Homo-oligomer: A and B are copies of this chain.
Amino acid sequence: MRNLLLTISFDGTDYHGWQVQENAVTVQQTLQDAFERICSSRDNVVGCSRTDAGVHANMYCCNIRTENPITCEKLVGALNALLPRDIAALDCREVDFGFHARYDCKSKEYIYKIWNSPNKNPFLYDYSLHYKPRLDEEFLSRQAADFIGTYDFASFCAAGSSVEDTVRTVMNASVEREGDMVIFKVEADGFLYNMVRIMTGTLIDISRGKIPADSIKQIIAAKNRFAAGYTAPARGLYLNKIHY
């Protein structure tokens, strides 16, 4: 039995997230169907993380355990020929049989894109949050730095999550600007449900004075979802890097 580590990227606009669901098109389902057509075997694809509907991935990893002898190069080519235009296979390599795309992940990086311009951009609606007032990216980057550390991030976890341990380690958090695009970047050993979207909403609420500056440490200490800001929409969020 072989274990293949597959790296893909996808535009999540038309998907109900990664994970297989009844009555909804998901990335995992689409990938498994393509794999089945290529290899004539129904092998389970294990993803590195669940992603919400509308969330994108510049990089997403999954592993497939299969008896099929197809070469990695052929599999990538065949997947790209069969997959729809909004999912791309980028790389494939054989890994130890015990490797698990989710459990062996050391850290993940997400980015959140904010189109920060008074002008509507017809190309970016599904790919960013449009926020018109000018954001001060240096100020926001100093605010975001307060996310760095090992904390109980319960304030940044959506209600309804079944996770019990809400302690996570954030290694990096910063905000930068590329022209009219402001990008919040955060790396952690794991993320809670809606964590990056609530972090982004909190930074925006700080920017517009709804939440005081320099209060992120207090919001974390509150361990209460109501202490944090709003949940920014899924469409600006991208899984960006996976470290094993």
Answer whether residue A127 sits at the interface, using C-beta atoms and an 8 A cutoff. Answer: yes
Answer whether residue A80 sits at the interface, using C-beta atoms and an 8 A cutoff. Answer: yes
Answer whether residue A90 sits at the interface, using C-beta atoms and an 8 A cutoff. Answer: yes
Which of A89, A119, A120, A122 has the most CB atoms of chain B within a 10 A radius of its CB? A122
> Can you give 15 contacting A-B residue pairs, CB < 8 Å?
A9-B121, A9-B123, A10-B122, A11-B123, A56-B123, A85-B125, A86-B123, A86-B125, A87-B122, A88-B119, A88-B120, A88-B122, A90-B119, A90-B120, A123-B127
Interface range on chain A: under 10, 10 to 19, 20 to 34, or 35 or more? 10 to 19
Considering only residues 112-135 of chain A, those with a C-beta below 8 Å from chain B are 119-123, 125-127
Q: How many copies, total?
A: 2
Considering only residues 89-129 of chain A, those with a C-beta below 8 Å from chain B are 89-90, 119-123, 125-127
Contact digits for A47-91, partner B, Cβ 8 Å, 1 yes 0 no: 000000000100000000000000000000000100001111110
A residues bordering B, Cβ < 8 Å? Answer: 9-11, 56, 80, 85-90, 119-123, 125-127
A126 to B11: give the CA distance in the assembly, Å: 12
A177 to B127: give the CA distance in the assembly, Å: 23
Q: Which residues of B contact A119 (CB under 8 A)?
A: 88, 90
Q: Which residues of B contact A56 (CB under 8 A)?
A: 123
